[in-house]
Amino acid sequence: MESCARGTCSSALQSSPASIFTMLIQTLIASRCQLSNTNKYPTSNEEKILNSKMEFDFVIVGGGSAGSVLARRLTEVEDWNVLLIERGVDPLPETIPPGLYNNNLGGPQDYYYTLEPQESSCLSNKDKRCVWSRGKALGGSSVINGMIHIFGNRRDFDGWASQGNPGWNFEEVLPYFRKSISCSPEYIAENGDKYCGTDGPLRVRYYNYTVTDFEDVVLEAAREAGHPILKAVNGDRYLGFGRVLGTLDEGRRQTCSKAFLTPVRDRKNLYVITSTRANKILFEGKRAVGVQITLSNNETAEVRATKEVILSTGTMVSPQLLMLSGIGPKEHLKKLGIPVLVDLPVGKNLQDHVIWFGLYYSFVNESVTSAPSEKDQLDSAYEYLEFNTGPLSTLANDLVAFINPVDPKSIYPEVQLLFSQIQRYDKNGLKTLLHSYNANDEILQIMTDVIMKRSLIIAYASLMRPLSRGVIELRNADPAEQVKIYSNYYTVPDDWKRLAKAVPTLKSLLNTTILQKYKANFHTYDVPQCRNLTADTEEYYECNIRHTTGTNFHACCTNRMGPANDSRTVVDARLRVHGVTNLRVIDASIMPNITSANINAPTIMIAEKGADLIKQDWGIQV
């Protein structure tokens, strides 16, 4: 970092324009260099590790949210040597500013999975395919996600425990949520510490979005319309509108690699290899003993684990590695010529928070007369690089609502509402947003015509507890190939019907003083294929929902946790893979059912708890 220092900036404070210009250039270079400083992450030890032929106590495959947590916690035991394998590299500087969230989707650190086309959904997406973003970097999806940090609710985790998973009810997992995070003293003073830790590695803060006031407007409209207002979204109440906490601090994204790995990067028992793909798990009989890997130079090697191999490669890759290693559905593996080690329902039970993105409010806004100029963007970049403030320092997605339009008597949510603003004339902002959902050119042009006339608040309705179940399958036996993903969105019709019930809640905000002041109107996207249907009918909403399909990027549950006598499960309550030894899966794929909120916080919790389970099983007191 010293090489990035600004030098003797005080000497540049002279009247000479050339000197001032030089100082400006030094400032920008130093700030950019600070963002891209790789010294804060563990050094990749590829050459040293492979030349020494050393064995490890634990080999963790996947350096994402869960893997970063595990590497930190397991290396707390000084006698344990731990190897962390990550296919990506260190986070790129453009992933650090929260305001560039949408720009990073589909970028160089996004796997950008393309789903298989299905006639039940994604019909107004390019090639009728939805896309799922997943982080390809040390820190995984925490490098490119929306940073929302929500636990879920009591029913979610009590439900896990009731399915034969002792130790996973809400009261038992809550300490692990708290363990990983550190909330601000101001937040603790106002809300207490029941749901917030004070000394965890991961800082979570309010987004402090102040560039426009649209979220204040929506929140005030909700209050006026009589909807509950949540003082804290992670709390005892689960229904209402409120501002969430996010994994960001002082204008910068807090990735799991930065929070959990950076402080311990010099531990002598932590070894890291990046730019390395795992191909399959190595077994002696049914005991996992290591992993076959392909290095950045395309050479193949093996790394050995004397205690355990741990898969933390996420919902798509963890089942892929299991199946490539002979653990999976027998008929599917035989079809691909893969010898079957254990017949398990790997890749099944796929769940996600599907989104209906075809909803918006339009506003009369005479103050907006042109799109953001190149000068505006350069000013924003300078303000961020120099002061960590301005539009790039935060992200306008901290206002959420949890509603239950299905059962008014329930205290638990069925639908999550999210909001984002697109100012009049901002065609680039609209294009970036719709790109994240892979919307086709026809929809983009329709909404571009709209944005040239009015400012918009886009509303998204996300189904919290879908009944539809998808599946992940191998495309072939090549580990370099991405898996086939069948989301099966809306194959159970009740799913789209429950989403459609969110419309009255969104319309209820229109009859408020504050939205009437802005002459607000509520709309659905003008999908050409739905124009012949009567508006506001069930038939019309089904058409619109099936066309404007997106995702909250919350895919999970493909290695379901549960007892061995349950034929639907892959791992037990201690996250050990059924039918083999010394192999665990610790990531979002082990969830029996998706939680009723964003899943990054639960994924971190699973890793925190998983680390303690490992320590207990190897005789370490926790």
- Residue 532's contacts (CB-CB under 8 Å, 6 or more residues apart) are none
Tokens of 138: 């040390």
Q: State CA 521 to chain mean position distance.
A: 31
Q: Rounded to whole angstroms, how far apart are CA atoms 288 and 165?
A: 23
Q: What angle do CA 82, 85, 90 make, to 5 degrees?
A: 115
The number of beta carbons lying within 10 Å of the beta carbon of residue 148 is 24
Long-range contacts of 504-509 (CB under 8 A, 24+ apart): 504/405, 505/227, 505/401, 505/403, 505/405, 505/417, 506/359, 506/361, 506/417, 506/459, 506/461, 508/225, 508/227, 509/218, 509/221, 509/222, 509/225, 509/361
Q: State whether residue 94 is helix, strand or coil.
A: helix
Instruction: Fill in the amino acid letter for 439.
Output: A
Q: Which two tokens stand for residue 572?
A: 């037990």
Residues 6+ apart with CB under 8 A from 87: 136, 274, 275, 276, 277, 278
- Residues found in the chain: 622
| Helix extents (H) in 63-202 | 65-74, 101-104, 154-162, 170-180, 185-191
Beta strands in 476-585 (DSSP E): 484-486, 521-524, 549-551, 583-585
* Amino acid letter, 582: N
What is the sign, positive or negative, of the torsion defined by CA atoms of 526, 528, 533, 538? Answer: negative
The sign one gets for the Cα dihedral 367, 370, 371, 376 is negative
- Number of Cβ within 10 Å of residue 5's Cβ equals 12
Q: How far apart are CA 136 and CA 36, in angstroms?
A: 16
Beta strands 287-294 and 300-311: pairing type? Answer: antiparallel
Q: 138 φ, ψ to 5°?
A: -65, 115
Q: Rounded distance, CA 289 to CA 328, Å?
A: 19
* Bridge partners, residue 551, by sequence: 354
Q: Given the residues 149, 227, 554, 578, select the one marked as catalytic.
A: 554
353 is catalytic: no
Radius of gyration of the chain (CA): 24
CA distance from start to end of the chain: 37
Active-site annotation, residues: 554
